[in-house]
Every structure is written in structure tokens, then in C-alpha cells.
Amino acid sequence: MPVALDLVEDILRLKKEKNAVILAHNYQVGPIQDIADYVGDSLGLSYQARETDAEVIAFCGVHFMAETAKILNPDKTVVLPDKDAGCSLEQACPADQLEAYLKENEDKNYYVIAYINCSAGVKALCDVICTSGNAPLIVEKAPADRPILFVPDANLGQWVMEQTGRQMDLWQGSCYVHVEFTRDSIHKIKEEYPDALVVAHPECTQAVRLLADEVCSTEKMIHFCKSAPSDNIIVVTESGMLHRLRKECPDKNLIAGPTDNCACADCRYMKMNTLEKLHSCLENLSPQVEIPEDVRAKAEVSLLRMLEQSR
Ligand code: 13P
Ligand code: SF4
């Protein structure tokens, strides 16, 4: 669909007028990725959010990502195109449930590692954050004499255990998009492209990960596809990833991983953002992310620990 040029121009005008930076996740729709100052995965976006000197951060992703930018920038204005853009992983682990669980299990003295796909309230309760781009590294740096509780993604947690050999207790959350890929759906597409390599996100189930040549974060998928020895690559993650990959690897045939019912998988939350809503949030500086200061300050400790440990 052609993108209205005057809308794009007006977003760029507002960006300048408000001294804003536009950060976008790899799953955003193409027109948003094309207008953003930076497009990346959760880890890269966290570093960008920490390093920007813009006064306003317009965060095109889901709510927990914009919240992460605010945790790191309490004095900046952080806006997002749609405040209802949530995440099934965030919903799977409400802060009050985690708090109650930790109280019930106080005797275990858990070291709590939270995948960044969680609320500020959960980040405030844990010791360190990780992303799919650094999870094995963060787990390897955990104290050897304490049991680990990993929240909220059980699939990512299981993959990290396989990578590191470290046992962890896993919160039973999952990404509703990535669990839609199945052994059958990947086998079927492999029949069509027998020589294709498969790259999958670690939020996929173990059955799917076992069929992959590489399991990695969205940003690492770019490096994998660029240097892959095969022209055909099946990309088992949310469909928005294909836009960035096709731009960065124009000589490859990048094939969306299918589910049992669809030719590709969309995250309905990521797809709530549109250029029109981006324009509106920049114009009105609303909706904004707000976090109670006591929660933000605690969440910042676990986030900064991650940023230090993954450099
Ligand atoms: P990445 O950090 O790998 O981009 O993953 C974020 C996400 O939400 C995956 O579903
Ligand atoms: Fe959350 Fe899954 Fe959407 Fe990523 S793809 S934002 S984990 S629901």
C-alpha cells in the first residue's frame, strides 16, 4: 500500500520540532521501520534508549519496550503510538503473582532473572533482566550458589538451560505468536525448500527449535542471514522481521515461517501501531508512559545490571 508522503513529511517535521527520536522494533510494519532513527531488537533498543540525547522518545513497539525506555530516562517524555499494545508474556506474569510466589518461596533465596518482556513491576522484583540477545550470558553470570527463577517465558528459559547447562525453575508463560509454529508447519515448508536453512526465535517451542539451524534474537537473525551459505532461508518469527531482513539481505530468498493455519505469524500487539498513530503521539505528546518512581528506581537497578553485564 502506498504511504502518504505528506504524512511521512509531517512526522519528520514533528520529530524535529519536538526534538524527538523514533525507535522501532524489528516487528513493526514497514512504513514505521522506514521512518525510524533506529530499528532493532529489545537489547539494541535498550542501549539506544539509554544513549539518546533527544527530549522525546517515540517508541514504536509494545508497551513493555516503551516502559523500558522510560525506566532508563525518567526525565524524558516517552510516547507510544498505541498504549494498548501489550504482550502475552507480560500478561502471563503479573507483578502481584510473582511477589506472592517469591514470598511463599522465601526459603529458596531465588536469584530472579526476568526476560525483558515483562512489566516494570516485575522488573522491580527481580535481580537482573535479560533479552533473547543476551540470555545465556546473563544466566552464566548468575551466582553459582543460588537457585534461579526465570520469568516469564518457559520456552526461552528451556533454551537457555540447554545452552548453559544451568538448571532453573521456569515461570510457565509463553508468546502466543511463537507457539503457533509447529513441527508440522516447519516440515511442510522445508519440503518446498529442501535446501533452505531455518532460523528461529528462542520463544518457539523446543520441537520447533530442534528443526532450526540457528536459534537467536531478531537482531542476530540479520547477521545469520547475511553470512548464511544458502540462498533460501526460512525465518521462524513474527512477520515484521521479513521487512528488515529483505532490506539488509536483498540477495537472499527470505521465506516467512508458516503456522498450521497461516502463511506467516503476526503479533496483533505489534501491528496496532500505524503511521497515523505515530503522527498523533508526536503531535499531542500522548499517550505517555508513566511509572511510579519507587517502582521505576528498582526496575532501573536490574536493567542497568543487564546492560553492564552484556557489554
Ligand atoms: P527480540 O529482542 O529478539 O527482538 O525479541 C522481542 C520479542 O518480543 C520477540 O517476540
Ligand atoms: Fe510479546 Fe510475542 Fe508479541 Fe513479542 S511477538 S511482543 S513476545 S506477544
Per-residue pLDDT reduced to its tens digit, 205-247: 999 999 999 999 999 999 999 999 999 999 999 999 999 999 9
Q: Considering the domain boundaries, does residue 264 fall inside one?
A: no
Query: Rounded distance, CA 263 to CA 168, Å?
Result: 35
With a 6 Å cutoff on the Cβ, whether 174 touches ligand 1 is no
Q: Measuring from atom 2 of ligand 2, which residue has the nearest CA? A: 175
Per-residue pLDDT reduced to its tens digit, 166-182: 999 999 999 999 999 99
Pocket probe for ligand 2: among 25, 88, 201, the residue whose CB has the most ligand atoms within 8 Å is 88
CATH of the domain at 104: 3.40.50.10800
Which residue type is seen at 236?
Answer: V
* Residue 290 grid coordinates: 508513566
pTM: 0.96
Task: Give CA 199 to chain center in angstroms.
Answer: 16
Same structural domain for residues 161 and 132? yes
Q: Considering the domain boundaries, does residue 160 fall inside one?
A: yes
Number of domains in the chain: 3
Per-residue pLDDT 10s for the chain (311 aa) are 566 779 999 999 999 999 999 999 999 999 999 999 999 999 999 999 999 999 999 999 999 999 999 999 999 999 999 999 999 999 999 999 999 999 999 999 999 999 999 999 999 999 999 999 999 999 999 999 999 999 999 999 999 999 999 999 999 999 999 999 999 999 999 999 999 999 999 999 999 999 999 999 999 999 999 999 999 999 999 999 999 999 999 999 999 999 999 999 999 999 999 999 999 999 999 999 999 999 999 999 999 999 999 97
Domain extent, residue 171, equals 89-175+297-310
With a 6 Å cutoff on the Cβ, whether 41 touches ligand 1 is yes
Closest CA to 138 of 110, 116, 122: 116
Q: Residues in the chain, how many?
A: 311
Q: Measuring from atom 7 of ligand 2, which residue has the nearest CA? A: 175
* Residue 39 grid coordinates: 530499528
Same structural domain for residues 205 and 283? no
Q: Which residues contact 297 (CB under 8 A, 6 or more apart)?
A: none
Same structural domain for residues 17 and 165? no
Same structural domain for residues 40 and 64? yes
Q: Measuring from atom 8 of ligand 1, which residue has the nearest CA? A: 117
CA 187 to centroid of ligand 1, rounded, Å: 24
Same structural domain for residues 210 and 232? yes
Q: Measuring from atom 5 of ligand 2, which residue has the nearest CA? A: 267
Which residue type is seen at 121?
Answer: G
* Helices 218-227/241-248 angle, 10° precision: 30
Nearest atom (ligand 2) to Cα of 27: 5
CA 91 to centroid of ligand 2, rounded, Å: 11
Ligand 2 binding pocket (C-beta < 6 A) is 62, 87-89, 117, 175-177, 203, 238, 267, 269-270
Same structural domain for residues 10 and 74? yes
